[in-house]
Amino acid sequence: MSERIVVVGAGMAATRLAQDLPGVTVLGDEPHPPYNRILLSAVLEGTHSPDAVTMRMPGHVDLRLGTRVVEIHRAEQEVELADRRRVAYDRLVLATGSIPTLPPIRGLVRLDGRLHEKVHAFRSLADCERLSTAVPHARTAVVVGGGLLGLQVARALAVRGLATEVVEGGDHLLRSQVDAPAGAILARDLAKLGTTVYTGARAVRLTDAGLTLDNGYTLDTDLVVLTAGGRPSTALARRAGLDVRRGIVVDGQLRTSDERIHAIGDCAQFGDQVTGFVPPAWEQAGLLARHLAGEDVTYEGARTVARLRATGLDVAVLGDPERTDGDVVAISNPVVGSHRKLVVRDGVIVGATLVGELSRIGLITQHYDRGTVLGPREPGDLLMGERPATPVALPDDAEVCACAGVSAGRIRACHSLDDVRETTRATTGCGGCAPAVRQLLATRTLEGTPS
């Protein structure tokens, strides 16, 4: 009999693992099928329908939704469910994700324990749908948290017509990803798009008058959206006595301190790294699937590329540019709202921030992911942006018509388009050179005329 592999959690990491590992059992806490969490702000904005973010588990998976695991019995190799039933495993995979942290704001939670009616978390599809339903009845919104998710939600709400403000406790936006000048440029861009940003200000109290900040402002608002982040969900692992620091500690085979138990995704910690992104979670899931299938593979940590998904704001952060050693090649241009920086070590891009000008994002990401060794001028060239083409006079030996192999000189020697066709056959193939030929014939008649 093949190994019984049981996965706790039915989020993105679990979905990916199940795709690569036929026959697994997936125990999901939430009642609905997994969905693509990173597209929730797109659902809010309206560019994606809720159906389009639903991740469908492949058919060969034993998927049990609404099934909460309350205990791991390591000695018996069983997990216990909320209804006291048990599920046996040979290998257990924890993909429990993260849980949102509530900021310490008085008045967020009502006496009955529920959130204040104006307050919305933004973590699950249910959160997203509840917020989306509230939008048509609101005029104003305050987003608490100026991280990637906060900015995405703020833009989505603004696109849907709300007057939106952002409150960020740190001294600049995206403070865990980018430096202060980049954050300042983003704040300016947001202001241009109609969204006010309060940095260095904490929301402390929610009352009928509005949301009060520690700088004394009170923001009158219909909606308060909390995007202040999350922490790894580790309670189950902790109770089972596994090694847990910020996340569940795993090694190069994504094994916890119990060799029959693995952890992947937001709940896991590899080295110092706890990631909150889908791509590393998927990378881990793919690698674990291969490991469980018997391949000799080792996880070496994630290369993250964080992308802001918001209309009108362009941000990409590769790696951790603010905390990575290397030479910094940077161009900051607040005049046009761009700020780009590459961190380069031994010719390799080891981190990058791109704000406002992303035309080379595809190439820079390729270099980053592949560890391409660049020449000394190349990082600078990569930031220069492509120059607009300069029209130049064609030399006589330049080929104008590739189909017939005709040079500019031979066209210049002709006196009309018919002459060109008959004597050179230029323009008779694909026809693409016709504009150039007409231009050459036109400039020929002006020859000698001072321009």
Q: Are 214 and 228 in contact (CB under 8 A)?
A: no
Amino acid at 27: L
Considering the complex, state which of residue 92 and residue 317 has its C-beta at the smaller distance from another protein.
317
Smallest distance from another protein to CB 416, Å: 19
Considering the complex, state which of residue 58 and residue 241 has its C-beta at the smaller distance from another protein.
58
- Using the contact rule CB under 8 A, the part of the chain among 137-145, 209-217, 218-226, 391-399 near another protein is 391-399
Smallest distance from another protein to CB 12, Å: 9
Q: Is 293 in the site for another protein (CB under 8 A)?
A: no
Applying the rule CB under 8 A, the residues between 245 and 284 that interact with another protein are: 278-279
Taking each helix axis from N to C end, the angle separating 12-20 and 278-292, rounded to the nearest 10 degrees, works out to 30
Q: Is 365 in the site for another protein (CB under 8 A)?
A: yes
Report d(CA 344, CA 346) in Å as an integer. Answer: 7
Taking each helix axis from N to C end, the angle separating 434-445 and 417-424, rounded to the nearest 10 degrees, works out to 120
Smallest distance from another protein to CB 48, Å: 4
Q: Is 413 in the site for another protein (CB under 8 A)?
A: no
Q: Is 36 in the site for another protein (CB under 8 A)?
A: yes
Q: Please state, in angstroms and as integers, the Cα–Cα distance from residue 402 to each residue in 123, 394, 436, following that order.
A: 57, 14, 12
Residue 18: exposure state from Cβ atoms within 10 A (0-12, 13-18, ≥19): buried
Nearest alpha-carbon partner for 361 in 307, 426, 286, 285: 307
Q: Are 167 and 202 in contact (CB under 8 A)?
A: yes
Work out the number of other CB atoms within 10 angstroms of the CB of residue 164: 26
Considering the complex, state which of residue 206 and residue 308 has its C-beta at the smaller distance from another protein.
308
Q: What is the DSSP letter of 369?
A: H
Smallest distance from another protein to CB 200, Å: 30
Smallest distance from another protein to CB 278, Å: 8
Report d(CA 394, CA 440) in Å as an integer. Answer: 9
Q: Which of 112, 114, 323, 390 binds another protein (CB under 8 A)?
A: 390
Task: Tell me the sheet residues that pair with 310.
Answer: 313
Smallest distance from another protein to CB 428, Å: 6
Q: Is 380 in the site for another protein (CB under 8 A)?
A: yes
The first and second tokens of residue 103, run together, are 């900021």
Chain contacts with another protein (rule: CB under 8 A): 16, 36, 38-39, 42, 47-49, 52-56, 58, 278-279, 305, 307, 309, 314, 358-359, 361-363, 365-367, 369-378, 380-382, 384, 386-387, 389-392, 394-395, 398-405, 408, 425, 428-433, 436
